[in-house]
């Protein structure tokens, strides 16, 4: 509670909002029984003050977790670890250019930057590319994996942009406001945004599609045009996590993909978490 009060106090200080503004936000969020802050903000189109407070709350939560000790925890094997192991499998430093042959693109609805920092530092340290003289090579390998944040990102990583922000919990007011400004919520984005257009291009040309930790929300499904693409373009395989879906939701999801299956695009939707799916299905190759 004390940490939350301190966070809201900072938001009030940075944006000049009154205690009653913050109370209105926290009370409405609580009584709305919303599953998340961003889902709540979708219902507040046009309420600029509420939306800014909400985005600031999201940024506060994300920044509080920007800790390298948490990101690189050897006692907690996660799907990030499995991903980088797959990407560099069989590729030692003498064959380092082969890393760029990994045909992987990532589309994410998340605002956080943990994946970028995990990939960058794992590449840099695994292939011993420390030092300014190796920075270009590190970035060359990193950029071979395209990452599209369709709803924005809580500030560009500092290794990608001079205007970016480092990965740590201590940020200035200017850095905080910059992070907030780059967060987009559903009603602020539309299917013709550059990010969604690029996401659809990547899905269209991909042979294997992994849907990881996705909520299968109607609006985001429509914007990705995932079902439409699978119904029209043959030669694809889709694997998706469905843990947490009700029996009825899962049945509707299978029904939605029925035509895609008829055009010989297999769709596998096991009840697994992200790590389990990547361990049991050929999402990252055989």
pTM above 0.75, yes or no: yes
Convert the pLDDT of each residue in 62-86 to its tens digit.
999 999 999 999 888 899 999 999 9
What whole-number distance in Å separates Cα of residue 56 and Cα of residue 50?
Answer: 10
Inter-helix orientation angle 114-126/79-88, to 10°: 40
User: pLDDT tier at 5 (50, 70, 90 boundaries)?
Assistant: low
Convert the pLDDT of each residue in 210-257 to its tens digit.
999 998 988 888 899 999 999 888 889 999 999 989 999 999 999 999
* Every domain of the chain and the residues it spans: 2-64, 68-168, 194-284
User: pLDDT tier at 188 (50, 70, 90 boundaries)?
Assistant: low
Mean pLDDT of the chain: 90
User: pLDDT tier at 190 (50, 70, 90 boundaries)?
Assistant: low
Question: Quick check: 191 pLDDT over 80?
Answer: no
Cβ burial, residue 173 (10 Å; 0-12/13-18/19+): exposed
Convert the pLDDT of each residue in 16-35 to its tens digit.
888 888 888 889 889 988 87
Cα-Cα-Cα-Cα dihedral sign, residues 189, 110, 217, 277: positive
Residue 4's pLDDT is what?
54
Residue 3's pLDDT is what?
46
Convert the pLDDT of each residue in 139-161 to its tens digit.
999 999 999 999 999 999 999 99
DSSP three-state, residue 226: helix
């Amino acid at each position: 509670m004390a940490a939350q009060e301190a966070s809201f106090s900072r938001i009030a200080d940075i944006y000049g909002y009154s205690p009653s503004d913050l109370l209105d936000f926290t009370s409405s969020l609580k009584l709305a029984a919303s599953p998340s802050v961003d889902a709540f903000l979708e219902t507040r189109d046009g309420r600029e003050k509420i939306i800014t407070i909400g985005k600031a709350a999201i940024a506060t939560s994300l920044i509080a977790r920007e800790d390298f000790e948490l990101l690189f925890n050897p006692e907690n094997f996660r799907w990030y670890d499995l991903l980088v192991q797959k990407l560099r499998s069989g590729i030692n430093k003498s064959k380092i250019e082969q890393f760029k042959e990994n045909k992987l693109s990532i589309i994410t609805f998340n605002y956080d930057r943990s994946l970028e920092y995990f990939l960058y530092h794992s590449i840099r340290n695994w292939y011993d590319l420390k030092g300014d003289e190796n920075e270009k090579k590190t970035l060359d390998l990193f950029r071979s994996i395209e990452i599209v944040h369709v709803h924005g990102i809580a500030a560009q990583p500092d290794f990608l942009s001079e205007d970016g922000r480092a990965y740590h919990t201590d940020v200035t007011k200017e850095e905080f406001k910059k992070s907030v400004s780059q967060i987009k919520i559903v009603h602020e984005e539309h299917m013709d945004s550059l990010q969604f257009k690029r996401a659809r291009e990547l899905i269209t040309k991909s042979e294997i599609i992994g849907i990881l930790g996705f909520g299968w929300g109607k609006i985001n499904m429509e914007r990705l045009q995932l079902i439409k693409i699978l119904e029209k373009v043959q030669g694809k395989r889709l694997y998706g996590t469905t843990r947490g879906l009700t029996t009825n939701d899962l049945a509707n999801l299978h029904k939605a993909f029925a035509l895609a299956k008829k055009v010989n695009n297999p769709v596998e939707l096991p009840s697994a978490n992200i790590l389990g799916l990547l361990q049991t299905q050929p999402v990252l190759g055989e």
